[in-house]
Amino acid sequence: MNRSASRNLRYGLTTALAWTVAILVFFPIFWMMITAFKTEEQAYQLSVFFTPTLQSFRDVFARSDYLAFAGNSIAISVGVTVLSLLVAIPAAYSMAFFPGPKTQKLLLWMMSTKMMPSVGVLLPVYLLWKNIGLLDTLSGLIIIYTLINLPIAVWMTYTYFCEVPKEILEASRIDGASTWQEIVHLLMPMSLPGLASTALLLLILSWNEAFWSINLSSAHAAPLTVFIASYSSPEGLFWAKLSAASLLAVAPIMVLGWLTQKQLVRGLTFGAVK
Amino acid sequence: MQLQAPAFSFGKLALACGFALTALSAGAATTLTIAALNNPDMVELKKLSPAFEKQNPDIKLNWVVLEENVLRQRVTTDIATNSGKFDVMMIGTYEAPIWAKKGWLYPMDKLSADYDVNDVVKTARDGLSYGGKLYALPFYVESSMTFYRKDLFAKLGLNMPEKPTYTQIAEYAKALKEKGGVYGICLRGKAGWGENMAYLSTLVNANGGRWFDEKWHATIDSPEWKKSVNFYVDLLKNYGPPGASTNGFNENLTLFASGKCGMWIDATVAAGMLFNPKESQVADKVGFAMAPSGVTAKGSSWLWSWSLAIPKSSKQEQAAKQFVQWATSKEYIKLVASDLGWTSVPPGTRISTYNQPEYLKAAPFAKFVLNAIQSANPNDATLKKAPYSGIQFVGIPEFQSFGTVVGQSISGALAGTTSVDAALKAGQAAANRAVVQGGYQK
């Protein structure tokens, strides 16, 4: 009796803690959502009681071509995800099943490239992109995002591939399967949940990337992050419009994240479950 | 050259990957890409620009609208690397002469006859010139002035003169706070060269100070700076709103528009917003006066214009010039007036705007704004001679960085994390270091 009471108490406390954290994390998004339906003057007031209006959304749609930005965001995220997986799967395959003496170091080195602040290489990349004509093109953004996200993609797929028993692949090789068949017909189906969460994470990361998109695009390839950046203003009231623009920008990816949260959580906690 | 060879092969590789999804096909018409700031006047320009495209069917306009700091970084990268992604750029009074000196901009000469360049306010033109040549055309111009609550002044028996002094401002702030039930005064406190330092530079000018002496030695530890910053910190601590060290233009606009401030010294563009009953609860109670003076009125109000310039990297100078002239013309101002009404026309650019009876009637602040703009001379802004141009800034590229450092230490003094003396000492060191490294100091 006593034991189950203390267990209940512990359960209650964890639940309360989880809810607190969840509310803390969600609060800014909630606030953005309600601000989007306020007028500019109400946006500065802390009240949650107001008559909702769609004025900010009307302004945002009148001022910029949302669909063009959203189309670019979709093209870029899908392009990055496909390209990254095309490179990451063969790389992780060779690292997981045919490790050399330097594989571990190579993996660590790849991660270390994530530690450099992007702005440090802005000028060289900008000049390079200018000379090869990639400035303000979707291809230019897809390439730079892929390069940025590859370490994560390789690491994640590598971890999942390590969970696949080597013996199964060896058996298929004895049966005469080529490397290509081995990857496509055995390895990929067996690690599908892992690959799915990698793909989702890549989608989200490239959807949210703001630094390179703002700097390398101008009129034609600008994704939704640039769309948001155009709604802040040093002189004048802008919070309601900025919130409406942000809501429009994050909505698609939030819905996707909501629908696929199981895979995502598995992807994000892959180190912890082992 | 060596760098380009591998870069090119990398490009081929990248393209071979099959991701050249949107190789841009250049149409027959000229396309101009315009980098613009997100503010109400620019939004209106973008909205009305189809009229220009109709007049010039062979020119198509592409807009890139960005927030000020992002815009500044973005266009600087583009122009410094000669990338030519933009044909028209919106730049400020700070950038125009510096960029012109570097040879980054096309001069704005050979303007069409009906443009009437002499109608453009002279101080605005001076601020955008380098070596006697104009390098950008002003789209809107602002200065600074004092806003106050007429109703509270009347209630307390106070009288705001047309040209107040800082001594009077301090008295009014005390009375408003103690008997008026509002914060006596709101001022910029947020750190940044274009934030608190814009205002503080005018205060220092009014007290007879300057950033540098003739030999480019920083004078931030001078008595004028000490007096100014102590006055500013005491004024805001005693009679200002709480948390003043994080307030910028928008925060103060909200405070004043919701009736919480008795006085506010800031950009003249605020007049249009405070006067608009849709945005302001005190629209019928706002009074205007010049920016306060101290021992001098010289440099006590700033001058800033958002202007349109054409980078040397653009390949469409002629078309771009056509657009820039259209956007800053008398004709455009009339177009805005017929679309939004006279209160919303871009202020401060043309004398002819201020000769329109409709404008003077719709905007009671108009004369003050024009006065403030015409009396602000960026080339003679300090009581003692200074080696730089600019009223609320120092017209050298290094200023963005050390101006912000000085702004941060003064913001710290306002927040109480450091003393005024320590803040000024740190600021003095930062400013001196920058000009020594830049090779200015003699």
Binned average pLDDT, 10 residues per bin, chain B of 442 residues: 39 41 50 89 90 94 87 88 92 94 93 92 93 94 94 95 95 95 94 92 96 94 96 96 90 90 93 83 92 93 94 93 95 92 88 92 87 88 92 93 93 94 95 93 80
Residues B20, A132: C-beta atoms closer than 8 Å = no
| 3-state helix/strand/coil string of chain A | CHHHHHHHHHHHHHHHHHHHHHHHHHHHHHHHHHHHCCCCCHHHCCCCCCCCCCHHHHHHHHHCCHHHHHHHHHHHHHHHHHHHHHHHHHHHHHHHHCCCCCHHHHHHHHHHHHHCCHHHHHHHHHHHHHHCCCCCCHHHHHHHHHHHHHHHHHHHHHHHHHCCCHHHHHHHHHCCCCHHHHHHHHHHHHCHHHHHHHHHHHHHHHHHCCHHHHHHCCCCCCCHHHHHHCCCCCCCCCHHHHHHHHHHHHHHHHHHHHHCHHHHHHHHCCCCCC
For the packed helices A66-97 and A239-259, what is the interaxial angle rounded to 10 degrees?
A: 40
User: Closest Cα of chain A to B66: distance in Å?
Assistant: 4
Residue of chain A minimizing CA distance to B10: A132
Residue of chain B minimizing CA distance to A222: B64
> Is A60 in CB contact (< 8 Å) with chain B?
no
With contacts defined as CB-CB under 8 Å, which chain B residues touch A138? Answer: 19, 21-22
- The length of chain B in residues reads 442
Binned average pLDDT, 10 residues per bin, chain A of 274 residues: 80 94 94 91 80 90 90 96 96 92 91 87 92 93 95 92 88 89 90 88 92 90 91 77 92 88 71 44
With contacts defined as CB-CB under 8 Å, which chain B residues touch A229? Answer: 66-67, 70
User: Closest Cα of chain B to A19: distance in Å?
Assistant: 32
Residues B273, A83: C-beta atoms closer than 8 Å = no
Nearest neighbour of B38 by CB, restricted to A40, A130, A231: A231
Buried b (16+ CB within 10 A) or exposed e, A139-172: bbbbbbbbbbbbbbbbbbbbbbbeebeeeebeeb
Please answer whether residues A76 and A148 qualify as being in contact, where contact means their C-beta atoms are separated by less than 8 angstroms. Answer: no
At residue A1, the pLDDT reads 53
Nearest neighbour of B8 by CB, restricted to A130, A132, A236: A132
Nearest neighbour of B249 by CB, restricted to A132, A232, A235: A235
At residue A273, the pLDDT reads 42
Put simply, whether the predicted model's pTM sits higher than 0.90 gets the answer: no
Residues A122, B43: C-beta atoms closer than 8 Å = no
Residues B363 and B342: their CA atoms lie apart, in Å, by: 8
Residue of chain A minimizing CA distance to B279: A41
At residue A74, the pLDDT reads 95
When scoring B2, B10, B37, B67 by the number of chain A Cβ atoms within 10 A, the one with the most, hence best to mutate, is: B67
User: Closest Cα of chain A to B74: distance in Å?
Assistant: 6
pLDDT tens digits along B24-56 = 334 458 999 999 988 888 888 999 999 999 999
pLDDT tens digits along B188-203 = 999 989 889 999 999 9
Residue of chain B minimizing CA distance to A80: B19
With contacts defined as CB-CB under 8 Å, which chain A residues touch B43? Answer: 63
Beta bridge partners of B144: B267
Residues B344 and B336: their CA atoms lie apart, in Å, by: 7
Residues B77, A131: C-beta atoms closer than 8 Å = no
The amino acid occupying position B441 is Q
The amino acid occupying position B353 is T
> Is A220 in CB contact (< 8 Å) with chain B?
yes
User: Closest Cα of chain B to A20: distance in Å?
Assistant: 28
At residue B1, the pLDDT reads 35
User: Closest Cα of chain B to A55: distance in Å?
Assistant: 14
User: Closest Cα of chain A to B7: distance in Å?
Assistant: 6
Residue of chain B minimizing CA distance to A221: B22
Residues B14, A139: C-beta atoms closer than 8 Å = yes
Nearest neighbour of B70 by CB, restricted to A44, A83, A214: A214
Residues B67 and B61: their CA atoms lie apart, in Å, by: 19
Please answer whether residues B259 and B182 qualify as being in contact, where contact means their C-beta atoms are separated by less than 8 angstroms. Answer: yes
Residues B201 and B229: their CA atoms lie apart, in Å, by: 10
At residue B363, the pLDDT reads 86
Residue (of B177, B180, B183) closest to B157 by Cα position: B180
At residue B86, the pLDDT reads 94
Nearest neighbour of A131 by CB, restricted to B4, B22, B40: B4
Q: Which residues, 6+ apart, have CB-to-CB distance to A269 below 8 Å?
A: none
Q: Which residues, 6+ apart, have CB-to-CB distance to B46 below 8 Å?
A: A63, B36, B63, B65
> Is A235 in CB contact (< 8 Å) with chain B?
yes
Residues B24, A143: C-beta atoms closer than 8 Å = no
Nearest neighbour of B85 by CB, restricted to A138, A142, A218: A218
Residue (of A39, A64, A30, A28) closest to A245 by Cα position: A64
Residues A132, B248: C-beta atoms closer than 8 Å = no
When scoring B10, B19, B21, B70 by the number of chain A Cβ atoms within 10 A, the one with the most, hence best to mutate, is: B19
At residue A270, the pLDDT reads 58
